[in-house]
Amino acid sequence: MDKRQELMNHAVHFFSIKGFHQTSVQEIAKAAGISKGAFYKHFDSKEGIFVEILKQYHEDLTRDLNSADFEPGLTNREFFKKKLLLEIERTVMNKEFFLMVFKDFPANDNELMQNLLQELRMAQLVLHKYSLLEVYGDRAKPFIYDLVTVYEGIKKEYYFYLIFENRPINKELLAEFIVASLDAIVSHSEKIQPVLTGFTSTISPLEEAYNQLEEQIKQTSSQREKHLSAFLMLKEEMAKQDAKAFLVEALLDYLKQEESLATELSTLEKFI
Amino acid sequence: MDKRQELMNHAVHFFSIKGFHQTSVQEIAKAAGISKGAFYKHFDSKEGIFVEILKQYHEDLTRDLNSADFEPGLTNREFFKKKLLLEIERTVMNKEFFLMVFKDFPANDNELMQNLLQELRMAQLVLHKYSLLEVYGDRAKPFIYDLVTVYEGIKKEYYFYLIFENRPINKELLAEFIVASLDAIVSHSEKIQPVLTGFTSTISPLEEAYNQLEEQIKQTSSQREKHLSAFLMLKEEMAKQDAKAFLVEALLDYLKQEESLATELSTLEKFI
DNA sequence: GTCTATATTGGGATAGAC
DNA sequence: GTCTATCCCAATATAGAC
């Protein structure tokens, strides 16, 4: 057996149980029957093997989903349900991968990884959007992003039960239940107001950072008015071509005195 | 300001950004303006402060939700929706806590922590179960655990949007949307087969009786702390092989003085 | 490709003075 | 309660022999 593959299999196992940071290279190597030093002949770092696992999984996933062929003559709903069932079965079969992803994740160290994940999530959202529109047509359109959100939320919650609690669940029944729940919501759509309306309008990351900070000041600041004024001046100044560095710094430092704003401020600082 | 509280605030901040394992005791201490050594005068370990944060949050949450007084004359559905709205607002305000929980988690190292988490999850499940039964009555009973799962899944997914993506969402609208979705599912219940049927089998009826009693004490007891202590001792004593009959009886009688616990106590007594 | 040995760092926790 | 100094271990990564 390929030593490289063997290392990856053991790695995903340990990562799923202990998390990335709590797993040592040594125990991965030992499980594969080689020394720690030899590990580095196969992968250049611990993060390296993690990235390789991610890549391989998504390659396998897309290949599987594209090669699956269903019997013809299915209704849109039946087709949707079959695909859901396939996804459920696949997720349960790869439960270690699922656990690994939901455990400790080396994303903060590596910005490339965060972008990759963001892309994958967005791709899934778009996929679900079109699947649901095919099943429910125009009735679902006004609140399609809410429907996608509900769909993903329900699915994820059941995955947690399936995987963490290791409960014996009838997967066929589960797929039917989820689709039936969506049916119910869509058929009540006349009584339902959408929530995620302005979803598609993409705000720039900088705009988003501003919004977050403003919200946080409004919600938690002990000196709401002062902090809001400082924020507005900061935003104005940063928009200028010849922004005064000392003023930006001074306003940032001033706002930092409010502990609850730390997260938003550090996000904002990345744009300077 | 209380140094201990200050340390916890900084800890939750770093944990939410970097994760538990990637945050050092030193940087928490430094942020609070003390040395690493002094940290250990306040908490006995890094895990210790994490546990304290968890406990405090849960206590605050249950206290907030229980002490909130809504205008009288609300229907069960309106009451449920108001509580949900309160929870949404509370979650957004405590977004760092939410992030911390969904980052790297020190659960594997410490068995006590896993038990604590299990307890907190179970308490929430039981709470939701009874809330939903109050709103929807017998129609929800056959698939109540599925309804709870759907409810928690939808909620969680919107929390992700609210917190990670920081989208401006109308929270009032969101609460109404979630409840309306549940309405839709319940009103279609004749077409829906339950999935989580054997659910109760994992929790013993005794465990369930304990949970109900504990919840009831937390929610209604006039002498919360005393009754909780009595409850814990009772549970402990009853678990022993050579449980002292007089002590069990004494504690039961003591708790019976609180009228609101009568139902839960008589359920519990069946197991003696 | 694999080994052993080693450099180096980071960080949890403790000791003992003040 | 707080400090500094220290212990001690675990873990990433490398060096160099075979």
pLDDT at B203: 62
- Nearest residue of A to residue B171 by CA position? A195
pLDDT at B199: 60
- Nearest residue of B to residue A175 by CA position? B195
Domain stop point among A176, A201, A226: A201
User: How far is the C-alpha of B272 from the C-alpha of A83, rounded, in Å?
Assistant: 50
Verify that A127 and A53 share a domain, yes or no. no
Verify that B141 and B207 share a domain, yes or no. no
A177, B192: Cβ pair inside 8 Å? yes
pLDDT at residue B64 greater than cutoff 90: no
Which residue of B156, B165, B195, B200 to mutate against A (max A Cβ within 10 Å)? B195
> What's the pLDDT tens digit per position in B143-157?
999 999 999 999 999
Verify that A8 and A119 share a domain, yes or no. no
Other beta carbons within 10 angstroms of residue A132's beta carbon come to 22
> What's the pLDDT tens digit per position in B1-14?
699 999 999 999 99
Verify that A149 and A262 share a domain, yes or no. no
For A165, the token pair is: 């609690």
Q: Where are the alpha helices (DSSP H) in chain B?
A: 3-18, 25-31, 36-42, 46-67, 76-93, 95-102, 111-136, 144-160, 171-187, 205-220, 224-239, 245-256, 262-269
pLDDT at B92: 92
> What's the pLDDT tens digit per position in B211-253?
888 878 877 778 888 888 899 899 988 988 888 889 998 999 8
Beta carbon of B38 within 7 Å of strand D? yes
Verify that A2 and A50 share a domain, yes or no. yes
pLDDT at A115: 78
B154, A156: Cβ pair inside 8 Å? no
Verify that A107 and A173 share a domain, yes or no. yes
**Can you give the residue range of the structural domain that contains B82?**
3-199
A24 secondary structure, DSSP code: -
Residue of higher predicted confidence among B15 and A202: B15
Mean pLDDT score across all residues of chain A: 88
pLDDT at A203: 57
Mean pLDDT of B202-213: 76
Distance in angstroms: CA B116, C1' C11: 26
Backbone angles phi, psi at B230, to 5 degrees: -60, -40
Verify that A48 and A77 share a domain, yes or no. no
Domain stop point among B178, B199, B220: B199
Q: Which residues in A lie closer than 8 A to residue B103 (C-beta atoms)? A: 104-105
Verify that A47 and A75 share a domain, yes or no. no
Verify that B185 and B210 share a domain, yes or no. no
Distance in angstroms: CA A37, C1' C7: 14
User: How far is the C-alpha of A229 from the C-alpha of A226, rounded, in Å?
Assistant: 5
Verify that A225 and A151 share a domain, yes or no. no
Query: CA–CA distance from A148 to each of A141, A144, A153, A182, B260 (Å)?
Result: 11, 6, 8, 10, 42
Give the count of domains, chain A.
3
pLDDT at A201: 46
Q: Which among B191, B190, B181 is positioned nearest to B147, based on CA atoms?
A: B181
Verify that B225 and B125 share a domain, yes or no. no
